[in-house]
Amino acid sequence: MSGAGYTALGFVLIFVATAAGAAVVFFFKKDISPRVNTLILGFAAGIMIAASIWSLIVPSLEGAEQTYGEDIYWIPAAVGIIVGGIFLTVLDKLVPHFHSGTSENEGKNAANVNMSTKLFLAVTIHNIPEGLAAGVVFGAAAVVGTEAAYLSALVLAIGMAVQNFPEGIAVALPLHAATGSKVKAFLYGAASGIVEPVFALVGYFLTSFVEVLQPWLLAFAAGAMLFVVAEDLIPDAKLQDNPHLGTWGVVAGFVLMMVLDVVLG
């Protein structure tokens, strides 16, 4: 498969997994139980933490060491992570959305926006850093140009897809409760995943055409993903209600992503 083929496959995969998860709403008669929700979100958090470390921060440090030397190679990673978190903070302040785990409104004029839209926007914000991460690693693979590099990037996309499927379920079912329509819940859930290939393209072109930015952009995507884990996934998982279940979900997600990245990548 060509590099363009690997890239297209990765971008499509992360969207299709979200849409497929959202489609499960047609087969559910009730919302998922709190225990299953805790397990799903803990699992997603574990995958995102592992992906941030193995697929983004470690390559950022390695690339920066080659470019800037051993004395200051940690700076792009540190700065990129912080800026990624700031980027998500700004989005949180600007975009009206709703945290189902904390039952809190955030963003401008959130009180004036209907619940289904706020739920949709909450998931959309969450998906932005995942798309950026996929785009950045495929952009870096394009610069390297080897099949091994593309396979490594595809591993990240597969990991994202694995977590996007249950997330699609976790999104569509509350949307069904809010809208009263399975069709609307599916369309909202699937549409929330469209931002992933869109921002993947942004990350891809920035990384592949401005090579010097690679270490910074890899860390930026990692920081944005870690922000989502701490701000959204962990609180929404309500680990205090099912601590062991949620914790093992995090561990399972982390181990799965680590194995995918280390063994297949």
Q: Using one digit for the tens of pLDDT, what is the confidence trace for 50-98?
A: 989 988 999 999 989 888 888 888 999 999 999 999 999 998 888 887 7
Give CA–CA dist 155/259, Å, rounded.
10
**105: enclosing H helix or E strand:** strand 104-106
pLDDT range class, residue 111, cuts 50, 70, 90:
low
pLDDT range class, residue 20, cuts 50, 70, 90:
very high
Task: Work out the mean pLDDT of the chain and round it to a whole number.
Answer: 86
Is residue 211 predicted with pLDDT exceeding 80? no
CA 196 to chain centroid, in Å, comes to: 8
Give CA–CA dist 156/80, Å, rounded.
19
Give the pLDDT confidence score for residue 180 in this predicted structure: 83
Tell me the mean pLDDT in the region 126-149.
90
Say what the pTM is: 0.85
Question: In terms of pLDDT, which residue wins out, 112 or 158?
Answer: 158
Q: Is 97 left (phi over 0), alpha (psi -120 to 50) or beta?
A: beta
Is residue 101 predicted with pLDDT exceeding 70? no
Tell me the mean pLDDT in the region 258-265.
78
pLDDT range class, residue 8, cuts 50, 70, 90:
very high
Tell me the mean pLDDT in the region 116-140.
86
Q: Sign of the C-alpha dihedral, residues 243, 248, 251, 252?
A: negative
